[in-house]
């Protein structure tokens, strides 16, 4: 998403390496539900005749809410990313092109420590979820910025997005838990107010 917002092409390794320096962490505010979309696709021969039908499944994570923080030693680079996310070069979407980002998916740019910011930001889940679920939330993040968490290796550090040869390295990911104030009240989210209802 960051590479697309900044207008980086798949083969631009130097630019991608700069993005690899970013630290990030994610707090799971609302787990969501995995949905399966059953589809039938058709495969045609070169002469245009139908070769066969086959079943495909597409999976979507619905009603999930994640709070993500990014950090980097260069504040100007973070500001450049912030501006690019607000006005992306290439369209942003969440996993599939049919799932564009919300109009309000950016909360702001802050000077706080990323993990401390996740610990103190109010719970973003809807009221029903907050009333019925535990307020002990999980934070996943780079091991460089989460100290004392359970560490796992994940092979998702993108070295190249080239269509000829995609490459990923391992990175350390740690998990910690934080208890958030339930704050059972109405959220500040007003979708219709933002579009001039």
Summarised one tens digit per residue, pLDDT across range 138-186 is 999 999 898 777 789 999 888 888 888 888 999 999 999 999 887 655 5
Global pTM value:
0.80
- Residue 145, Ramachandran bin (φ over 0: left; ψ between -120 and 50: alpha; else beta): alpha
Report, in angstroms and rounded to the nearest whole number, the Rg of the chain calculated over CA atoms. 20
pLDDT at 182: 79
pLDDT at 197: 53
| 95 or 30, greater pLDDT | 30
Domains, the chain, ordered by start: 2-31+59-194 (3.30.70.2660)
The distance in angstroms from the start CA to the end CA of the chain is 30
State whether residue 148 is helix, strand or coil: coil
Of 61, 66, 71, give the one whose Cα is nearest residue 27: 66
Query: Please, which pLDDT band fits residue 117 given cuts at 50, 70 and 90?
Result: very high
């Amino acid at each position: 998403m960051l590479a697309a917002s900044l207008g980086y092409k798949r083969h631009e390794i130097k630019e991608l390496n700069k993005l690899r320096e970013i630290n990030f962490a994610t707090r799971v505010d609302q787990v969501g539900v995995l949905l399966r979309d059953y589809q039938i696709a058709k495969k045609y021969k070169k002469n245009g005749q139908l070769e066969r039908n086959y079943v495909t499944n597409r999976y979507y994570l619905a009603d999930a809410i994640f709070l993500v923080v990014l950090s980097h030693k260069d504040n100007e680079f973070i500001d450049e990313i912030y501006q690019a996310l607000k006005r992306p070069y290439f369209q942003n979407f969440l996993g599939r092109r049919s799932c564009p980002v919300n109009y309000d998916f950016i909360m702001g740019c802050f000077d706080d420590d990323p993990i401390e910011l996740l610990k103190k930001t109010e719970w973003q889940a809807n009221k029903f979820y907050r009333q019925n679920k535990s307020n002990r939330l999980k934070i996943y993040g780079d091991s460089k910025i989460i100290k004392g968490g359970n560490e796992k290796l994940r092979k998702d550090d993108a070295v190249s997005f080239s269509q000829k040869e995609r490459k990923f390295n391992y990175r350390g990911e740690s998990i910690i838990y934080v208890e958030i104030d339930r704050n059972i009240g109405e959220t500040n989210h007003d979708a219709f107010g933002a579009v001039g209802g």
